[in-house]
Chain A
Amino acid sequence: MSKRRVVVTGLGTINPLGNNVADTWNNLINGISGIDYITSFKTDELPVTFAGEVKNFDANEYMGKQHARKLDRSGHLSIYATEEALKDANLDTEQRLGNGVGVVFGTGIGGIGATEQAVRTYDERGASRINPLAITQLMPNSSTGQVAIKFGIEGPSLTITTACAASANAVGEAKNMIQNGIVDMVIAGGTEAGTTAMTIGAFAQIRALSTNNKNPKGACRPFDKDRDGFIMGEGSTVLIMESEESAINRGVNIYGYVAGYGASTDAHHITAPAEGGKGAVDAMKKALFDAELTSDDIDYINAHGTSTLANDKNETAAIKTVFGEKAYDINISSTKSMTGHLLGGGGAFESLVSLLSLKNNIIPPTINLNNPDEECDLNYTPNISIEKDLSTAMSNSFGFGGHNGVLVFKKT
């Protein structure tokens, strides 16, 4: 029996580049950076003063203060992105979706902002003044639960916390749920709202972040010789995934197919990738196998490309191992150069980029790539997007903990 095919019929996003899919795509293909100085809190004490923040979004205005104050920012962003995706897939956001629909979200650090606030309150005013909503805001599955409540999703639900691979794993596990006939539709997405003082301070302590405070928009330079770390980003992206027959029966637009998913674990070091990207190689090969494709079939790779020394070097080596000489012909790009690192929200966002690239036959660039690095010598689509007929795309996501999640998308 052939496997059920899985399609994407709706997209929604809120991220440093835009508060909807259209604005986001427009900025992506024009090489616009969404990174800037942090405005939501004081950065005087921090070694890093910039990030990819979501702009012009007021949760109180969007969902009303009484509802908004029950959620962490990661939850606000999740509900916002889900609403756009449901509408895009021609689903009624006023009706309960019921038990034939599942929800799988990925997040790295959940409601970290709520955690920070609760600790501050405890230190300043004692246990009796801790916000009684703190636990329900900070738990990593908060967004999954709140999205399910808001839209009446009663099928299986999962929250995946594999750091920066989380929502790639979410999309992959959602694909498997549909492919295996568990449900016909899954709301799959990722969310992160880690642009907070403690989180930026802590990532800076492990020298993971760029400290290019003089030039925020030029700071994220994946695969460039002068790269000096990633840039914290925030946002949520949601994909409406369903079986092909469900989409055909509903008569809705299909963006593309989630054709393959490969997951692996480095089992090597809690932050550093294995030398040569061994785990990444394994995940890419598994994703190709799952998609019933070979390395000759991939037209575009949306790289993990974080702009850290270790990732970009090892990811490049891994791509060469999987694709051989063909690696030099494939267009690769890191859209993190424009969004910053959305952490657990990255895999879903980059799935959106891959699907829109296939649909529009345009590859968004890696911006700020000016100085070649001899260890990063592939075609990273520097600085300017290109038009090209595309049939397939691969999206890489690798997380602290050694988690690797790779997705393969097909146009038809």
Chain B
Amino acid sequence: MELNEVFEKVRGLFVEDLGIDESKVTMEAKLEEDLEIDSLGIVEVVMAFEDEFEIEIDDDELANVSTVGQAVQLLHSKI
């Protein structure tokens, strides 16, 4: 799967599942500051990723993920 396809799917999850405004979801967007996803929300995001991409994400893999782009890179590397 191409990087931009992963991004499209991620954006779809944020908009459809989490109710986030589509225009806010860019590769540069910060999860916490820009998208208002707090520590509880991150768990939901991870669950949504795992279901959508049929993968498992360990908590320590998230240590360096703070933007949409970093999340997309991580997912891309695991698919």
Instruction: Report A's interface with B, CB cutoff 8 A.
Output: 60, 64-70, 128-129, 131-133, 136
Contacts and interface: CB of A to CB of B under 8 A. Distances in A.
Given A66-B36, A136-B40, A129 B47 contact: yes
B27 to A, nearest CB: 20
Interface string B7-42: 000000000001111000000000000001000100
Nearest to B45: A132
Given A69-B18, A133-B44, A136-B40, 9 more contacts: A60-B19, A64-B19, A66-B19, A66-B20, A68-B19, A69-B19, A129-B47, A131-B44, A132-B47
Contacts of B20: 66
A132 B20 CA distance: 18
B53 to A, nearest CB: 15
Interface residues of B, number: 10
Contacts of B43: 132
SS class of chain A's interface: helix, strand, loop or mixed?
helix
Contacts of A64: 19
25 contacts: A60-B19, A64-B19, A65-B18, A65-B19, A66-B18, A66-B19, A66-B20, A66-B21, A66-B36, A67-B19, A68-B19, A69-B18, A69-B19, A70-B40, A128-B47, A129-B47, A129-B51, A131-B44, A132-B40, A132-B43, A132-B44, A132-B47, A133-B40, A133-B44, A136-B40
Most buried by B among A60, A66, A68, A131: A66
A277 to B, nearest CB: 45
A322 to B, nearest CB: 49
A224 to B, nearest CB: 46
Nearest to B36: A66
Contacts of A131: 44
A64 B24 CA distance: 15
Nearest to A67: B19
B43 to A, nearest CB: 4
Contacts of A136: 40
Interface string B37-62: 00010011001000100000000000
A128 B47 CA distance: 8
Nearest to B17: A69
Contacts of B47: 128-129, 132
Most buried by B among A129, A131, A132: A132
Most buried by A among B19, B21, B43: B19
B20 to A, nearest CB: 6
